[in-house]
Amino acid sequence: MKSKTNIRRIGVFTSGGDAPGMNAAVRSVVRTAIYHDLHIFGIKNGYQGMVDNDIQRLEAKNVANIIQRGGTILRTARCEDFRSKEGRKNAFQNLEAFDIDALVAIGGNGTYTGAQIFSKEYGIPIIGIPGTIDNDLFGTDRTIGFDTAINTAIEAVDKIRDTANAHSRLFLIEVMGRHAGYIALHAGIGSGAGKIFLPEKHTDIDEVIHNLQKDLRRQKLFNLIIVAEGEANGGAMAIAKRIKEANYPSELKVTIIGHLQRGGAPSCNDRVLASRLGYAAVQGLLEGRAGVAAGVISDEVIFTPFEEAINSNKPLNQDLLKMAEILAL
């Protein structure tokens, strides 16, 4: 492909919460850039490395043997300095010193927001890649890391199911998702949970308690409830307290899966998605695209302006929600 731009030197970084598959995305960006005879630089710790001048040239061999690894070789951070004009000025001066003329930003909503502000202030072309386990980014069906996280979650839930069944206990299992219920919904459906608490939907605990008691009367002796950490009742601990206070007669346990969901080898789906988006981001920059996030919708790569990606909500699939209720009968 012939470049429509003068871009010769690209910086790549991962920012915000890490997600399995970020390494596969970095590898793809690096190798696609090298294929196009570009110089490629890794910026450490997200925006923090830009501010602190923690930047180094990457060669194809630097990204060997990482496609299968969780975490991010570039490391990541949530950067306070970059929120200030002064911090962003430092960051730009450091990029200038390396002659970096475009960026690929891998992360979530906060990463896109930083990229949008920075590109408006300094006119540097940036393309975003959706990397977060939460799957809460508009402009892509799936974010990098989501598939791995839901598989990690259901593996844990399946194990809990064995012991819950053996002891006839009720388990409340909290999964990640401060603002979004994608992980909870998918882990709940995939593990056959009796109930799913989501940030997007109010759940009446009294009604849940009533149904749990009905379950006991019909000899359903164990039950699994999946709770998204950001749901409105305060999470699994708070819900457990309410259920206990209502004198629920059977034993009740809480498991918070937590950061286990963020680590581990990425699934094949995440590796392929990350590879595709890394490749698309570099191609996109060379085609003259900027200020956009790459995504895959219905198996097609698309680019969404940061503005739209940041401000639009990706709603949960209502059919899935309804189906989850019906299948839990």
- Positions annotated as catalytic residues are 134
Interface pick for ligand F6P out of 115, 124, 176, 309 (rule CB under 6 A): 176
Residue closer to ligand F6P (CB basis): 95 or 228: 228
Q: CA dihedral in degrees (72, 74, 78, 81; nearest 10)?
A: 180
Residue closer to ligand F6P (CB basis): 20 or 291: 20
Please say whether the beta carbons of 282 and 7 come within 8 A. no
Closest distance to ligand F6P from the beta carbon of 99 (Å): 32
Q: Which amino acid is at 70?
A: G
270 binds ligand F6P (CB under 6 A): no
Residue closer to ligand F6P (CB basis): 40 or 176: 176
What is the rounded CA–CA span in Å between residue 94 and residue 78?
19
- Kindly state the number of chain residues that form the binding site for ligand F6P, as judged by CB under 6 A: 10
Residue closer to ligand F6P (CB basis): 176 or 321: 176
| Residues of this chain, 217-256, that bind ligand F6P according to CB under 6 A | 229
What is the rounded CA–CA span in Å between residue 11 and residue 112?
15
Please say whether the beta carbons of 74 and 104 come within 8 A. no
Residue 301 β-bridge partners: 296
139 binds ligand F6P (CB under 6 A): no
Interface pick for ligand F6P out of 52, 134, 147, 270 (rule CB under 6 A): 134
Using CB atoms within 10 Å of the CB of residue 324, give its burial: 0 to 12 exposed, 13 to 18 middle, 19+ buried. Answer: buried
152 binds ligand F6P (CB under 6 A): no
The per-residue b/e assignment along 180-219, b for 16 or more CB within 10 angstroms, e otherwise, is bbbbbbbbbbbbebbbbbbbbeebebeebbebbeebbeee
Closest distance to ligand F6P from the beta carbon of 14 (Å): 12
Interface pick for ligand F6P out of 11, 70, 108, 130 (rule CB under 6 A): 108
Residue closer to ligand F6P (CB basis): 74 or 176: 176
Closest distance to ligand F6P from the beta carbon of 225 (Å): 18
Using CB atoms within 10 Å of the CB of residue 73, give its burial: 0 to 12 exposed, 13 to 18 middle, 19+ buried. Answer: middle
173 binds ligand F6P (CB under 6 A): no
Please say whether the beta carbons of 205 and 243 come within 8 A. yes
Closest distance to ligand F6P from the beta carbon of 75 (Å): 13
| Helix axes 268-286 and 22-35, enclosed angle (nearest 10) | 40
Interface pick for ligand F6P out of 133, 156, 173, 198 (rule CB under 6 A): 133
Q: How far is CA 324 from CA 79, 173, 211, 327, in A?
A: 38, 16, 15, 5
178 binds ligand F6P (CB under 6 A): yes
42 binds ligand F6P (CB under 6 A): no
| List of residues contacting ligand F6P (CB under 6 A) | 17, 108, 132-134, 176-178, 229, 262
